[in-house]
Structure 1
Amino acid sequence: MEAMAQPKYKGKRYRLDKPELLAPAGNLEKLKFAVHYGADAVYIGGQKYGLRSNADNFSFEEMKEGVEFAAKYGAKVFVATNIYAHNEDIEGIEEYLRSLQDAGIAAIIAADPAIIEVAKRAAPKLEVHLSTQQSTLNWQAVKFWKDEGLPRVVLGRETSLEEIATIKEHVDIEIEAFIHGAMCSSFSGRCVLSNHFTDRDSNRGGCCQSCRWKYDLFEDGREDAAGWVSEEDQLMQQAAPAPAPFKPGVTQIPLFQPQDNPFTMGSKDLCMLEHIPDLIEVGIDSFKIEGRMKSIHYVATVVNVYRQAIDSYMADPENYVLKPEWIEEINKAANRPLNTGFFYDTPDHEDHIYEPEEKAVPYDFAGLVMEYDEETGIAVIQQRNHFKPGDEIEFFGPDGTFFKQAVGRIEDQHGQELDAARHPLQLVRMKVDQPVRFFDMMRKRKN
């Protein structure tokens, strides 16, 4: 990630309260990593009514376990129930919401007024947070939802810092905003391309992310009144095969040559790490990270970096300094190029990805520290990806662990030397150069 421009927000600044760091959790294991690495709250999906139907999602038993784990760290668990419901979706919603309440869930994230009203009546101990799916962008709309009894609004991603300041000036309510992760190319999730292309309803959890697909583009050829097509257009059609013409006498001119990259229309990802002071001082109550479908390595890395940045700022606002190593860490988890979204200005053509994106994260989650012996310096590592002696690796953890080394001799639990750790969840023993702790992660650069 290249260094971004200096903050351009010069508006009102309201307070220095410590914001909530809200992390995604696509399954129970990711929830535990998110909390262990510093999240104040996590948002998850149940097996109904959420917008990530392809995620693992949680059973009620897993929710209870997640709530109990989070409570040990003083963290909360929210559940996304943010579909726009059709008539057939409503049956069973009361029982589902009561079950969430019984599981100890702190709040639901909802968009549909029907679900909101049912929750208020049937599960009054559940807080209801308004989903970003409602595309709430102005203070009067926020006031409407406060008057409806909602304690928190998740703003649309199109909201600027100046607009957030105006909202905070007019309405005393908790504001949650996305500060890191993927951006929808449509208006806060109102896209229906997925519905038309694949019969998967974006607003009922089925988005196929068609904005990330690769497309060919064609231009209708030029013709005169007699239907004559120029020789140049005919040659262009022959040079790069195109679908059959829409009508006789009209050539579809390919805008790409065979060697060109196909066209995409996805947005760059959001990253506000370099602008933590602006986010805090404008009064955002909850910093939300996108990514319930992302990997454990992504969740742990991003949460850990924002945790450090927030805590560092709150400890000494006047002398806060953005550390270069935080940016380096974010780069190790970044899936796409990064920008600041709508916070400072309206994104333009430079904020979109028009060619196939480089999705490969440069690092793999290679192992999880299970035990460490201070006398011998031997750690027990649970294998998560193939590694072998000689590999360059890094250790990092929520308590400040960070160092690099080469993998030396590795053994199984019986002391037998191994030429590689190649079996999923295999426990191996290896000497580490510095002390490590339970739940520290080991990663290696991809080849």
Structure 2
Amino acid sequence: MTTAASPRYTGKRHRLAKPELLAPAGNLEKLKFAVHYGADAVYIGGQKYGLRSGAGNFTFEEMKEGVEFAARYGAKVFVATNIYAHNEDIAGLEDYLRHLQEAGIAAIIAADPVIIETAQRVAPKLEVHLSTQQSTLNWQAVKFWKDEGLPRVVLAREVSLEEIAQIKANVDIEIEAFIHGAMCSSFSGRCVLSNHFTDRDSNRGGCSQSCRWKYDIFEEDKPMFGTEEDKFTMGSKDLCMLADIPDLIEAGIDSFKIEGRMKSVHYVATVVNAYRQAIDSYMADPEHYELKQEWLDDINKAANRPLNSGFFYDTPGPEDHIYEPEEKPAPYDFAGVVLSYDASTGLAVVQQRNHFKPGQEVEFFGPKGTFFKQIVGPITDEKGILLEAARHPLQTIVFKTDYAVQPMDMMRKRVRL
């Protein structure tokens, strides 16, 4: 049982205000799934000025479509403009920010003062949220940015819950904090390993994740380790605060941010769905809130790395890093997404996302309560031709489901280890 008086956090408790659930969206499809599965807001990247140049990213037309879709659910869209700009990056900045405002974007996430000042000057309808790249750790720094006209600060990942509560006690401003996803081995993303090793600038969107590579130790050009298994990484375990939702809410965090614009549609939908249920359950009845095992199970079905609680309760130690070859905690693959369902026949039309075939056990889940397992029976293509397996990406497959499903429900399968 997890209650409002969770013993892990003993600091000052604040108002019970329902936090925003903020999800990543690397492309338009991910945006739609994030919102459909319960995100109150999503953050995306445009074609310039963002730190995920490898994500699908959005054109202005896609932004407009995303904003319109989100608005139907009462959700907002933010755009990451969080690079540290060099001289050559400044050309075109004013026009870019004006286009974001015209597209209906609610806010930008920025770190560079020139981007912040320019947005305030040329696109005043855009809120400016301070990026975690500014490594903001204390309430005086937060107050500085409030005095500069910013309504929200995204804190550094290295801030504890005790420090967050102190910030909220001293500054009346929205606080956003990462509560799930990858952690950077450097200080809130301020890394230059990628620059030196690959000539890809981490702070202009080109990080090659050098901390995840395998390393060896040498002494006078002689390797100290002899086998591939002995090599180590510098990577951190991923952050997961699902078990600590009461503490996060009562510390006064206004926006719960999930990392992962490069992650899959399945990852985004699964993680958002789990946090949405936990937040809503706690807010409905804090005194009798109970952390459900199925929420944790779902997170583990989408996890890419082992999980921990980051800096929220203490400083991470060796046990919070991945030095040895990591065990994959997610033995599930995203197998398909429901396109439609005919209640009179029990037939579901599913778009294939990974190979599956009759006789396999699959699991359906969705944001409106869909959750069941079944063995796949006979499958056909959309013309009714019987198939031995669903082999082709995005192939339309038709088969009976044991229970009713809805469009945008997902189907996954257990991976044979």
TM-score computed with the length of structure 2 as normaliser:
0.97
4+ runs deviating over 4 angstroms: none
8 A contact 1:335–1:358 mirrored in 2: no
- Distance in 2 between residues matched to 1:81 and 1:423, nearest whole Å: 37
Aligned CA distance change for structure 1 residues 21 and 206 (closer, same or farther; 3 Å): same
SS of residue paired to 1:91 = coil
Measure, in 1, the Cα distance between the counterparts of 2:206 and 2:302: 25
Contact 2:42 2:77 in 1 (8 A): yes
- Counting only pairs closer than 5 Å after superposition, residues 143-154 of structure 1 correspond to structure 2 as 143-154=143-154
Change in 2 beyond 3 A, CA 1:57/1:360: farther
Deviation at 1:286, TM superposition (A): 0.2
- Could you tell me which residue of structure 2 aligns to residue 306 of structure 1? 275
State the AA in 2 paired with 1:157: R
1:7 is displaced (CA, Å) by 4.4
Q: Which residue of 2 aligns with 1:283?
A: 252
Mapped to 2, the partners of 1:259 and 1:283 lie a distance apart of: 46
Distance 1:260 1:131 in 2: 38
Structure 2: which 5+ residue stretches go unaligned? Answer: 1-5
Distance in 2 separating the partners of 1:127 and 1:412:
47
CA distance in 2 between partners of 1:419 and 1:67 (Å): 41
CA distance in structure 1 between the aligned counterparts of 2:7 and 2:391, rounded to whole angstroms? 46
Aligned to 1:189: 189
Structure-2 residue corresponding to 1:3: none
- Equivalent in the alignment of 1:77: 77
* Separation in structure 1 between the aligned mates of residue 168 and residue 330 of structure 2, nearest angstrom: 37
Q: Render the CA deviation track for 1:159-209: whole Å, top value 9, x for unaligned.
A: 000000100000000000000000000001111111111111111111110
Q: Which of the residues 208, 230, 233 maps onto 1:264?
A: 233
| Partner AA of 1:21 in structure 2 | L
Alignment check: 8 A CA contact 1:15 1:283 kept = yes
Q: Which residue of 2 aligns with 1:225?
A: none
> What is the aligned partner in structure 1 of residue 380 from structure 2?
411
Which residue does 2:13 correspond to in 1? 13
Q: Which amino acid is the alignment partner of residue 277 of structure 1?
A: P
Give the CA deviation at 1:42.
0.2
Aligned amino acid, residue 177 of structure 1? A
2:122 corresponds to which residue?
122
Is the Cα contact below 8 Å between 1:55 and 1:292 reproduced in 2? yes
Q: Secondary structure at the match of 2:334?
A: strand
Q: Mean Cα displacement is larger for which, 352-361 or 411-420?
A: 352-361
d(CA) in 2 for partners of 1:31, 1:370: 17
* 8 Å Cα contact 2:229-2:324 kept in structure 1: no
Deviation at residue 219 of structure 1 after TM alignment: 2.4
Change beyond 3 A, Cα 1:7–1:83? farther
Please say if 1:334 is aligned against 2:303: yes
Query: Number of residues paired by the alignment?
Result: 411
Looking at structure 1, the residues matched to 332 and 81 of structure 2 have their Cα atoms a distance apart, in angstroms, of: 33
1:142-181 map, 5 Å: 142-181=142-181
Q: 1:387 aligns with which of 356, 360, 373?
A: 356
Quote the RMSD (CA, aligned, Å). 1.1
The equivalent residue for 2:91 is: 91
**Aligned twin of 1:437:** 406
Counterpart residue identity of residue 323, structure 1: K
Amino acid at match of 1:434: Y
The superposition leaves residues 115-172 of structure 1 with CA deviations (integer Å, 9 ceiling, x where unpaired) of 0000000000000000000000000000000000000000000000000010000000
Q: CA deviation at 1:358?
A: 3.7
**Structure 2 residue aligned with 1:315:** 284
**Partner amino acid for 2:111?**
A
1:228 alignment partner in structure 2: none
| CA apart distance, 1:273 | 0.3
The one-letter amino acid paired with 2:176 is E
The DSSP-based 3-state class of the residue aligned with 1:260 is helix
Contact kept, 8 Å, 2:300 with 2:329, in 1: the verdict is: no
The one-character-per-residue Cα deviations of 1:210-265 (angstroms, maximum 9, x if unpaired) are 00001121124xxxxxxxxxxxxxxxxxxxxxxxx4xxxxxx3x221226331101
**1:199-238 correspondence runs (5 A):** 199-220=199-220
SS of corresponding position for 1:305: helix
Q: Which moved more, 1:130-139 or 1:427-436?
A: 427-436
TM score, norm. by length of structure 1:
0.90
Q: Deviations over 1:352-396 (max 9, x none)?
A: 000133457321111111111112211111111111101110000
**What are the residue-to-residue correspondences of 1:102-141 with 2, within 5 Å?**
102-141=102-141
CA gap 1:406/1:281 in 2 versus in 1, 3 angstroms: same
Runs (5+) with no aligned partner, structure 1: 1-5, 221-244, 246-251
The whole-number CA distance in structure 1 between the counterparts of 2:91 and 2:327 is 42
- Write the distance in 2 (CA, Å) between the matches of 1:391 and 1:56: 32
**In 2, Cα distance between equivalents of 1:40 and 1:133:** 23
Measure how far apart 1:110 and its partner are.
Answer: 0.1
Contact 1:217 1:263 in 2 (8 A): no
State the match for 2:392 in structure 1: 423
Specify the structure having the higher radius of gyration (Cα): 1
Equivalent residue for 1:64?
Answer: 64
Q: Secondary structure at the match of 2:99?
A: helix
**Cα deviation 1:269-304 (Å, max 9, x = unaligned):** 000000000000110000000000001110000000
Q: Which amino acid aligns with 1:42?
A: V
| Separation of aligned partners in 1, 2:228 and 2:73 | 53
Q: What is aligned with 1:249?
A: none
Which letter maps to 1:169? A
The 8 Å contact of residues 40 and 76 in structure 1, kept in 2 or not, is answered as: yes
